[in-house]
Amino acid sequence: MLTVPEPVTRPRRERREAATHCPYCALQCGMVVTGPDARDPDARGSDRADLGSEQVSAVREASVRPREFPTNRGGLCQKGWTSATLLNTPARLTTPLVRRHRDEPLRPASWAQALDLVAERLRGIQAAHGADAVAVFGGGGLTNEKAYLLGKFARVALGTAQIDYNGRFCMSSAAAAGTRAFGLDRGLPFPVTDLDTADAVLLAGANVAETMPPFTQHLRHAADAGGLIVVDPRRTPTAELAALHLRPAPGTDLALALGLLHVAVAEGYLAEDYLAERTTGFTSAWQVAANWWPERTERVTGVAAADQRRAVRLLAEAGSAYLLTGRGTEQHASGADTVSGWINLALALGLPGRVGSGFGCLTGQGNGQGGREHGQKADQLPGYRRIDDPAARAHVSSVWGVPAESLPGPGRSAVELLDALGQPNGPRALLVFGSNVLVSAPHAGRVADRLAALDLLVVADFVLSDTAATADVVLPVTQWAEEDGTLTNLEGRVLLRQRAITPPEGARSDLDVLHGLATRLGQPAERFPTDPETVFTELRRASAGGPADYSGVTYQRLRAGEALHWPVPEADHPGTPRMFLDRFAHADGRARFVAVDHRGPAERPDADYPLLATTGRVLQHYQSGAQTRLVPELVEAAPEAHVEVHPDTAARAGLVDGDLAVVASRRGQTEARVRCVASIRPDVVFLPFHFPAAQRANLLTNPALDPTSRMPEFKVCAVRLTPASAPTVPKGSG
């Protein structure tokens, strides 16, 4: 009799669900990640030596779905829906890579070998050239814990002043303008859901329909009421939703803001009681705006005087109105003044600090708000304290257990730091965490030269980004769903991003990396903890009493689902969802008008470069594209760089839709596929900045800096357009 063996039954692999947040923009949409339970022995993936690569992939497979959360209300954009692909990308790094000479390829090394090498080289460079010979560059996507410990590592373990981050490219102009107007910078000083009932919203330089699509649901009421106003030189998907689209020439946003302020005063819309009770400085601001009557503004900006008057009327007559700015109005050599111009208009209409109305700046990067609060910015200490404030230095140094006098002073801002690399008296080594400067920084060709001049480049990343590929040491780190950590979204709400899956063997958290380097540099182990909650507990103490006070925020409260918008100064404090309702953060409680005037872009068109180029994002990609270009679905939808151009402008350059073109500026040239768009201004071309190598838009962009924020002028530079079959070398290249 044939005996049939009993089927082998394997225990059902448990799946673990974690309520968390999207790894991309500052909307921080709520999602659920489903992955293998960390207690499941198979869940450790590559920890199992007997598993082949296909089995490992299956074990680590994860999925995402949206969840109900105030910012996204159960929706996700295409990037969010495909974000689980990143958790299992074949491009994932799990072994440190090292090269001892620049002409050698990167080779695998153990963690001990890699960290020993980095520490040895750092000690040697600082011994020969001083503490500031080593620089650190962070990112607005790092968790609060990582940003905090990175700033501490730079100033305590390295003793260097040379630390800044890519948020300098993103929010610094808005932060500078908000601070001088209100005494404090929090991007949105109100919950995003307050926009739901707005009758009118003016969006200046923000294309939210592509950059953060779930945000558009909060604009639905204003759009349905005919009160949505969009300021953008392009007819973007966001502008398509608007009742009124104002199309200023790139670099003229401040002139438009001044013209609208003139209309508000001239046509009797000034909120005089509000100005008297809650503001100061209006007279000096009006003395400038008085010269910007609508017809003059029309000549400079191209926006019709009738449309200027209609925009002000929509805002002033609305029962509930908001004015919001984005990168398009901020990324200029006059970006801080431009945002101040929009704030002046909002103050004149009496919007900021009122329930049902307000002013805000839309943060872009996932932790763009928290990333600029806790010490990775050149001039700041945790809690949004200034590093040159003696009281701030005394408080933070006491938390860190070091003498206040040992802390360095302010360092170089991001562009200035990158430009100083390898130069006499500049840094000889650079450590990069959470940034891809070869694609994201302006004048990218120059940045490549400066990185090549370094004695040591170290990059911590989870994939071999464009910048990591040029490094001497690459350290593989964990990514968003593999670790706990907090972020602060665009409305100042502190969020807990929870670990959903176990990272692959070989990947370590950035906290582990900083601990490993710090101890090798002679720091006590307990000074650089690796547990995120332990780091956050210290961050709370360091932020206590500062402008961005997190001292009352705990992991326990966040796990319980409390909505905690900073400041949260005490353990039982409910948080501050709406700021400035009673007073602004200046000592006298009043908001400040700032007298600003239009001066135009740092670079203007001429016979050699007759067009204005502006840059931005597309729906499918994020930032430098290092993550989204690894997602097949997103690459299929947007596989290469394109240049939007008016059909008549393309024809004059000898181009038609679909041709490959060369776009050249005074700094370099890039290649892009022509996309003819009848709605774009004939004097403007648009390029997305997500693409690498010869398609980098930032090969063109101007590193001219705002004098206050030190933000570069990404949004306008002079270019020319030619067929790719006959590229030309631009004058002044390099």
Domain boundary assignment for the chain? 15-88, 97-169+385-550, 173-361, 611-723
The CA distances from residue 539 to 76, 141, 370, 377, 543, in Å, are 31, 17, 12, 15, 6
**What fold characterizes domain 173-361?**
Dimethylsulfoxide Reductase; domain 2 (3.40.228)
Beta carbons of 618 and 688 less than 8 angstroms apart:
yes
The residue assigned the tokens 């109100």 is: 190
The reported pLDDT for the residue numbered 37 is: 55
- Can you list the residues of the chain whose pLDDT is less than 70? 1-15, 37-60, 726-734
DSSP-H helix ranges across 653-694:
none
Separation CA 391–CA 395 (nearest Å): 6
> Which tens digits make up the pLDDT trace of 274-298?
999 999 999 999 999 999 999 999 9
Nearest to 535 by CA among 519, 549, 559, 555: 555
Residue 726, H or E segment? none
Ordered strands of the 163-165 beta sheet: 107-108, 97-98, 473-476, 456-461, 429-433, 134-138, 163-165
Separation CA 659–CA 645 (nearest Å): 12
Residues in the chain, overall count: 734
Longest dimension (CA), the chain: 105
Q: What CATH number is given for 15-88 in this structure?
A: 2.20.25.90
Same topology between domain 15-88 and domain 173-361: no
- Which two tokens mark 423? 């130069």
Separation CA 166–CA 139 (nearest Å): 5
> Which tens digits make up the pLDDT trace of 538-564?
999 999 999 999 999 999 999 999 999
The CA distances from residue 531 to 146, 470, 483, 502, in Å, are 11, 30, 10, 15
The reported pLDDT for the residue numbered 364 is: 85
Which architecture, in CATH terms, is 611-723? Beta Barrel (2.40)
Residue 360, H or E segment? strand 358-361
Nearest to 703 by CA among 326, 412, 465, 339: 412
Separation CA 444–CA 448 (nearest Å): 6
The reported pLDDT for the residue numbered 447 is: 97
- Which two tokens mark 709? 């924020």
- Which two tokens mark 603? 């670079």
- Which two tokens mark 568? 């949260």
Bridge partners (DSSP) listed for residue 325: 204, 361
Separation CA 224–CA 695 (nearest Å): 39
How many alpha carbons fall within 13 Å on the CB side of residue 300?
22
- Which two tokens mark 483? 């670790």
Q: What CATH number is given for 97-169+385-550 in this structure?
A: 3.40.50.740
Separation CA 354–CA 278 (nearest Å): 11
The reported pLDDT for the residue numbered 57 is: 37
* Backbone dihedral angles phi then psi of residue 203, each to the nearest 5 degrees: -105, 115
Separation CA 535–CA 549 (nearest Å): 15
